[in-house]
């Protein structure tokens, strides 16, 4: 019965291999994306959460190349951050100063009545550090990565909950908390950065994506914790490892057709110090899979998982599941 539930999930997702839809999407959007990229000094994409997990969302920060002829009254030329919350609400905030050349981009302050934060770009021009995030008076966090046409970033907001809670005070049954992901690639092998909350404590972790199968307008990829080489640990919570594994599912139709979606779901395990092995589910706020099938995982018994890597059973099912012609 345990494997039956998992096979229901996978059978609703995995189909015959084809990459035609993804290729078509890239060819149709490449010109527009390059045009937008050339008009900006930098674009960053990532995830947002309040530290109470009440609000989550996707962040995009655009740093345009400012001009002396910009209409200041309309905020032209000012760096802009946009947050699309999981509720559908959208918030925009502008930086207090312009940036004329990339060499001038270092520290910026974004301020509005609802949202404020500080943006700091390090000397190596890597991913920026974002601090002092406030959203409607709540302490919050933003995590972003540099986004380009050649290295696009996919950000997904979501939550996790527990099945076996063992009385943990921050993991009551039914409680949901933030579990966000940033993918370095949309399709194929690539790294994942995770943003997770336990209570009000934030944990940043790692994962990777591999083994993708495409069919029609959808692609499904296997994702799991670790780096795929040296470790299978996603992050440490109270010094003990957290593991996870699941599916990244996304629609590859051209943007703007109303059918776009990008979602993920799966299982997690934490070998806590005082409460034993805790297990549960994670899922994205956006739905790119069959929700009733996902809910069947609530009945999945995780006792068969290996203590050293708790998702070997899940991975085995994924690799052994035959493609449907």
pTM for the full model? 0.79
Please count the other Cβ atoms lying within 10 Å of the Cβ belonging to residue 325.
6
**291 domain-assigned:** yes
Q: Give residues with Cβ within 8 angstroms of 304, minimum separation 6.
A: 2, 313
Residue 133 located in a structural domain: yes
Spatial separation of the C-alpha atoms in residues 9 and 220, rounded to whole Å: 12
Each as own residue / partner, the long-range contacts of residues 315-321 (CB below 8 Å, 24 or more positions apart, any chain) are: 315/222, 315/224, 315/245, 317/3, 317/6, 317/7, 317/10, 318/10, 318/14, 318/211, 318/222, 319/211, 321/7, 321/10, 321/11, 321/14
Nearest to 9 by CA among 203, 224, 298, 325: 298
Total domains, the chain: 1
CB atoms near residue 30 (< 10 Å) = 11
Instruction: List per-residue pLDDT tens for the chain, 325 residues long.
Output: 443 344 334 434 443 333 444 444 445 454 444 444 445 688 999 999 999 999 999 999 999 887 765 666 567 789 999 999 999 999 999 999 888 877 667 789 999 999 999 999 876 667 889 999 999 999 999 999 999 888 889 999 999 999 889 999 999 878 999 999 999 987 778 999 999 999 999 999 999 998 888 877 788 888 999 999 999 999 999 999 999 999 898 887 766 555 678 899 889 999 899 999 999 999 999 877 543 344 444 444 444 434 334 345 444 444 433 332 2
What are the residues whose beta carbons fall under 8 Å from the beta carbon of 121, sequence distance 6 or more?
A: 105, 106, 107, 128, 129
Q: Residue 38: which H helix or E strand, with range? A: helix 20-38
Q: How far is C-alpha 145 from the geometric centre of its chain's CA atoms?
A: 11
Site of tokens 């996790």 = 160
For residues 263 and 250, what is the distance between their CA atoms, to the nearest angstrom? 6
Residue 172: inside a domain: yes
**Does 325 fall in a domain?**
no
Tell me which residue of 45, 255, 79, 61 sits closest to 147, measured CA to CA.
45
Domain that holds residue 177: 2-320
CA distance 160 to 213: 25
> What's the CA gap between 56 and 77, in Å, rounded?
27
């Amino acid at each position: 019965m345990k494997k039956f539930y998992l096979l229901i999930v996978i059978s609703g997702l995995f189909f015959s291999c084809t990459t035609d839809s993804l290729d078509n999407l890239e060819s149709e959007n490449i010109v527009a994306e390059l045009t937008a990229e050339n008009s900006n000094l930098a674009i960053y994409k990532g995830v947002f959460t309040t530290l109470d997990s009440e609000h989550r969302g996707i962040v995009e920060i655009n740093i345009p190349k400012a001009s002396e002829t910009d209409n200041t009254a309309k905020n032209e030329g000012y760096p802009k951050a946009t947050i699309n919350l999981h509720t559908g609400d959208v918030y925009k905030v502008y930086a207090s100063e312009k940036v004329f050349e990339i060499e001038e981009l270092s520290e910026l302050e974004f301020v509005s009545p609802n949202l404020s934060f500080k943006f700091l770009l390090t000397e190596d021009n890597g991913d920026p550090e974002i601090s002092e995030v406030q959203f409607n008076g709540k302490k919050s966090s933003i995590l972003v990565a540099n986004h380009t046409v050649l290295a696009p970033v996919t950000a997904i907001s979501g939550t996790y909950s527990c099945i076996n809670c063992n009385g943990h005070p921050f993991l009551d049954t039914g409680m949901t908390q933030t579990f966000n992901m940033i993918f370095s690639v949309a399709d194929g092998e690539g790294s994942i950065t995770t943003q997770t909350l336990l209570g009000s404590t934030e944990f940043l972790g790692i994962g990777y994506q591999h083994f993708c199968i495409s069919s029609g307008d959808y692609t499904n990829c296997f994702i799991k914790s670790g780096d795929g080489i040296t470790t299978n640990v996603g992050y440490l919570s109270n010094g003990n490892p957290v593991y996870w594994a699941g599916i990244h599912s996304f629609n590859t139709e051209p943007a703007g057709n109303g059918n776009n979606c990008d979602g993920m779901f799966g299982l997690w395990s934490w070998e806590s110090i005082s409460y034993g092995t805790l297990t549960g589910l994670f899922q994205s706020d956006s739905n790119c899979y069959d929700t009733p099938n996902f809910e069947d995982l609530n009945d999945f018994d995780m006792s068969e998982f290996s203590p050293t890597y708790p998702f070997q059973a899940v991975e085995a099912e994924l690799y052994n599941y035959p493609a449907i012609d």
